[in-house]
Structures are given as C-alpha cells and as structure tokens.
C-alpha cells in the first residue's frame, strides 16, 4: 500500500469518526434525516429502521420527561 492510499484511509476513518453521534438525540436526528431522504425519493423505508426511529423517539421523550433516565451512575 502506498502513502497516498494510507492517507486516504486515514482521512476516511477521520470523517467516519466525526459523523458518529454521541447521544440518542443526535442519532435520532441523523436517522430521521436519512429516512426523510428515502421517503423523498419515493423508496420504501425498511421496517427495522422505522422501528429504530420510534424507539429512539420514545427514549428521547423519556429522557426529556425524566433527565435522570438513561444516565449511567
């Protein structure tokens, strides 16, 4: 592997790390945005992703109503 290929791989991993959500709310927003893009193209949304969206939304609502919920102690 040459130096340019290694630099490309490092750049790829750095971008991937920057795009990783740090909490459920960020993950929900990213997932919601991607699902809306799928819907905009008229494509069917996979049921498992719809289920995940619902679970994340419920988790966020629970955390908003009880800020202590979901925190590690």
Q: DSSP labels for the chain?
A: --HHHHHHHHHHHHHHHHT--SSHHHHHHHHHHHHHHHHHTTPPPPHHHHHHHHHHHHHHHHHHH-TTTT---
CB 28 within 8 A of CB 56: yes
Confidence of residue 58 (pLDDT cuts 50, 70, 90): very high
pLDDT tens-digit readout, 25-51: 888 998 999 899 999 999 999 999 999
pLDDT at 72 over 60: no
| More confident call, 5 vs 35 | 35
- Whether the predicted pLDDT of 71 surpasses 80: no
């Amino acid at each position: 592997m040459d130096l340019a290929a290694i630099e490309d791989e490092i750049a790829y991993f750095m971008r991937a790390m920057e795009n990783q959500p740090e909490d459920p709310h960020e993950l929900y927003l990213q997932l919601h945005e991607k699902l809306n893009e799928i819907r905009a193209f008229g494509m069917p949304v996979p049921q498992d992703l719809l289920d995940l969206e619902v679970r994340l939304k419920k988790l966020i609502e629970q955390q908003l109503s009880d800020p202590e919920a979901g925190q590690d102690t």
